[in-house]
Amino acid sequence: MSSMGIFCGTAGGTSMKVAKALAKEFEIDEDDVINMEEDYDDLEQLQNYDILFIGSSTWGQGDVHFSWVDVQLELQDEKPDLSGKTVAFFGAGDSVKHGEQFCSALGKLYKTFTDLGATAVGFVDKDEYKYEFSLAEMDGKLCGLAIDDHNEKGKTKERIKNWVEQLKGELDL
């Protein structure tokens, strides 16, 4: 069976809520759920897994959570070969207050990981969301699971549940 790791940058806890749901549904040990701010050590950790669940809230003008900034720069500088790795992105945003960059951190992380050879799964239909713009939008889909607990909290559990089922199919689990 493929090894799975969850790497999550979170501030308000929404992204970590998704990480915990993924850990439960995919039976991922708590040691393999990496809070980027507290548990992340180096790029070698990413190499330990075949399947990576990458989570980040979106900040400012579509930026990744601060705990991802140095990691993202290190990935871009060192250019490790991530071919053979499968990556699914998830994160939190505010489609009303920050609708001009809704969950854009997912798009930035997508670019970083796929530029290094990783294969992305878990695209979600954008029509289920209302926002102005997002770097996570690609060909009519979002490149991962976007959660808006500020404005659509009532949809969060269902979105997570549907995404998990979709991933199980895409990952043949």
pLDDT in tens, 144-170: 999 999 999 999 999 999 999 999 999
| pTM of the model as a whole | 0.96
Domain tally, the chain: 1
Does a structural domain hold residue 73?
Answer: yes
Q: Is 42 exposed, middle or buried (0-12, 13-18, 19+ CB in 10 A)?
A: exposed
Identify the pLDDT of residue 156. 95
Would residue 46 count as lying in a domain?
yes
Range of the domain at 133: 4-164
Q: Is residue 160 part of a domain?
A: yes
Establish if 173 belongs to a structural domain: no
Helix H or strand E encompassing 52: strand 51-56
CATH code where residue 155 lies: 3.40.50.360
Domain-embedded: residue 134: yes
In Å, what is the CA distance from 78 to each residue of 11, 42, 72, 73, 140? 27, 12, 10, 9, 32
Residue range 91-138, pLDDT digits in tens: 999 999 999 999 999 999 999 999 999 999 999 999 999 999 999 999
Phi/psi class of residue 90: alpha, beta or left (left: φ > 0; alpha: ψ in -120 to 50)?
Answer: beta
Is the distance from CB of 87 to CB of 153 less than 8 angstroms? Answer: no
**pLDDT of amino acid 82:** 97
Looking at the domain assignment, is residue 23 inside a domain? yes
Place of tokens 């400012």: 60
Q: Which two tokens stand for residue 73?
A: 């720069």
Is residue 22 one of the residues assigned to a domain? yes
